[in-house]
Amino acid sequence: MKSELHYIYRSFNLKKMDHKVFNLIDEELQRQRFGIELIASENFTSQAVLDAMGTCLTNKYAEGYPGRRYYGGCEIVDQIEQLAIDRLKELFGAEYANVQPHSGAQANAAVFLAVLKPGDNILGFDLSHGGHLSHGSTVNYSGKVYKPHFYGVSRETGVIDMDVVEKKAHEVKPKLIICGASAYARDWDYARFRSIANDVGALLLADIAHPAGLIATGLLNDPMQHCHIVTSTTHKTLRGPRGGLIMMGKNFENPFGLKTKKGSLRKMSGILNSGVFPGMQGGPLEHVIAAKAVAFGEALQPAYKEYCKQVMKNAQTMAEVLVERGYNIVSGGTSNHLMLIDLRNKGVSGRDAENALGRAGITVNKNMVPFDDKSPMITSGLRIGTPAITTRGLDEKACQKIVGYMDDVIMDIGNEKRQQAIHEEVKGMMKNFPLY
């Protein structure tokens, strides 16, 4: 017998109630189904994650935390949020987890609010070298409220030089050091970052928004062993709903300058929780939290590790074939799910390449490359990644084919006819990898 929930959910007919919104959602679904998605920060959730998001949980106010809410009627959402917390802790071996941040940027903002004072020095990875807006960029609140300083990659290697990080940290004595990026293809030396943080008396935050899934499955270095605090999004390699999270590992060692180590986990949990609510956010999105719980449950399954391994194999294949075809990849290749292509030797801008590839049904994003001489709206680079195509089931062979399409488009950038022909081929290819 069908449950009441099933009845209400299935009988709601968006098409009849609001055909304009329905049609636009349907158009987007067709775009996703028949295109090649190479945006490194995107992925396709399971149907189960989508189902959890589109539920009555969106109706519920639940300011506070499980067992300590400011509203009645939270008995059920308490269990849902606790399940998400427990699964997340299991996934990363965390001692503390907060699943309420609406996004990665808000997770970072909540941490800053919790542990910093306005005007404090912070040290993060330069946005123009692959960092993130919320790590102190001057156009972001983090660079307006706090005093930002940056480290970058070496011009020769395209890799972060830890000696430079150390020198900079000693120079500016930051209260917080941030490691993590949105366009960096190499792994992070969290142990060295921690040793630098210890030397200068800084807290260490790892923002693992991009490689979270590869870390959870043990394929990349583990920040939980070394960093005081870890933030992430839930929708990139982690393949959950759009959202954020905050965690702490076992290594608390009095990070907030608390007088006693006794009970410090509880105190620090309280400080971080307050940073999220009431500090940064109001009511949590319990429908999204339910979907996070589903995604964390999926990521705990052995099949998810196989998926993550394939993501990395696909990325390595794409990087290798691109190099064979004469493309420059920043740092020479990739150790994770993404790569940054420097198009300067091809005489094509990131913007033009993004537009032309879009016409061919291949979605990418233009991206600054380190030491770029073009503006962020033009750029000299493209960032591509494999989490989404791997979810669709594409393998190394398909990746070789995709690089062939990309090369054809980029090397004949003005040929719209060719782009349309490739678009038809792309549609034919993606029909074989059904989505929803």
The residues binding ligand DSN (CB under 6 A) are 41, 104, 132, 182
Tell me, letter by letter, the H, E, C secondary structure of the chain.
CCCHHHHHHHHCCHHHHCHHHHHHHHHHHHHHHHCEECCCCCCCCCHHHHHHHCCHHHHCCCCEECCEECCCCCHHHHHHHHHHHHHHHHHHCCCEEECCCCCHHHHHHHHHHHHCCCCCEEEEECHHHCCCHHHCCCCCHHHHHCEEEEECECCCCCCECHHHHHHHHHHHCCCEEEECCCCCCCCCCHHHHHHHHHHHCCEEEEECCCCHHHHHCCCCCCHHHCCCEEEEECCCCCCCCCCEEEEECCCCCCCCCCCCCCCHHHHHHHHHHHHHHHHHCCCCCHHHHHHHHHHHHHHCCHHHHHHHHHHHHHHHHHHHHHHHCCCEEHHHCCCCCEEEEECHHHCCCHHHHHHHHHHCCEECEEECCCCCCCCCCCCCEEEEECHHHHHHCCCHHHHHHHHHHHHHHHHCCCCHHHHHHHHHHHHHHHCCCCCC
Q: 130: which 2 tokens?
A: 């692959």
Give least dist CB 143 to ligand DSN, A: 15
Residue 219 or 338: the one with the smaller Cβ distance to ligand DSN is 338
CB of 43 to ligand DSN, least distance (A): 11
Min CB(212)–ligand DSN separation in Å: 12
In the bound complex, what is the minimum distance in angstroms from residue 383's beta carbon to ligand DSN? Answer: 8
Among 37, 207, 298, 342, the one annotated catalytic: 207
**Between 137 and 419, whose beta carbon lies closer to ligand DSN?**
137
Closest CB to ligand DSN among 149 and 210? 210
Nearest approach, Cβ of 132 to ligand DSN (angstroms)? 6
CA-nearest of 347, 385, 375 to 128 is: 375
Q: Min. distance of Cβ 192 from ligand DSN in angstroms?
A: 24
CB of 112 to ligand DSN, least distance (A): 16
**Is 431 noted as a catalytic residue in this protein?**
no
Of 63, 120, 187, 396, the active-site residue reads 63
Name the residue nearer to ligand DSN (CB basis): 41 or 380.
41
Closest distance to ligand DSN from the beta carbon of 417 (Å): 31
Catalytic residue among 194, 236, 292, 383: 236
Which candidate in 45, 217, 231, 233 is catalytic? 233
Active site residue 391: no
Q: Which is nearer to ligand DSN, 45 or 182 (CB)?
A: 182
In order of 200, 267, 369, the CA distances from 170 in angstroms are 6, 29, 27
Cα–Cα distance measured from residue 49 to residue 101, given in angstroms and rounded to the nearest whole number: 17
Question: Which one of the listed residues 87, 194, 242, 366 is annotated catalytic?
Answer: 242
Catalytic status, residue 63: yes
Alpha carbon 103 to its chain centroid, in Å, reads: 9
Query: Annotated catalytic, 236?
Result: yes
Give the nearer residue to ligand DSN in terms of CB position, either 152 or 297. Answer: 152
Task: Tell me whether residue 41 or residue 363 sits nearer to ligand DSN (CB atom).
Answer: 41
By beta-carbon proximity to ligand DSN, the closer residue of 64 and 241 is 241
Q: Which residue in the list 61, 90, 95, 427 is annotated as catalytic?
A: 61
392 φ/ψ sector (left φ>0, alpha ψ -120 to 50, else beta)? alpha
Q: Is 242 a catalytic residue?
A: yes
User: Which residues are known to be catalytic?
Assistant: 61, 63, 207, 233, 236, 242
